[in-house]
Amino acid sequence: MFNMHIDGLDHLSVSFLQLQQLSEDQIWDIIAPAAETLKSRMQSVISRMFNQISGSLRESIQVQRKISKGGAVFALVGPDQNKHPKATQGKRKRNAQGGGGGNYAGTNAEVGFILEYGSARIPARHWMETACTEVEDELYSTMEAGWDAAVTAAGL
């Protein structure tokens, strides 16, 4: 089982009172540049690790602004849920006879998941873990700079 430990703003030396006084937009301004950095690193790792003709997985990496039920702002970085271009190839009719073979490819998120964790026939390549590990220090420094700017602008 894969265990991923991600430190977000918790890595920064932040008092909860200061964090509480920041608006959702200010917090997003801290997170967004780091999320864009992670996006570009994921795209470069995909280009380096895989030989993609279409580049659809690489181009599907996106940054989404999300707000949890508790009101926390966070960034979701990864492949989108759009259909992969080869999603219809290799599909067999239900109860078809004989060997079907062909490629299975669902959404870009499913393809990314299979490439990350592997399947019965595809070994795990851990492209997301590699990208996160390579860019970790840069993400922290980017968020720290954003934090300092937000605290200074808010007069805290």
Q: How many CB atoms lie within 10 A of CB 136?
A: 15
SS3 125: coil
The pLDDT tens digits of the residues spanning 47-77 come to: 999 887 778 889 999 999 998 888 888 899 9
Which of 74-88, 107-121, 142-156 is least confident?
74-88
- Does this model's pTM top 0.85? My answer is no
Residue 18, pLDDT score: 67
**Which one, of 2, 49, 29, 20, lies nearest residue 145 by Cα?**
29
Cβ atoms 65, 73 nearer than 8 A: yes
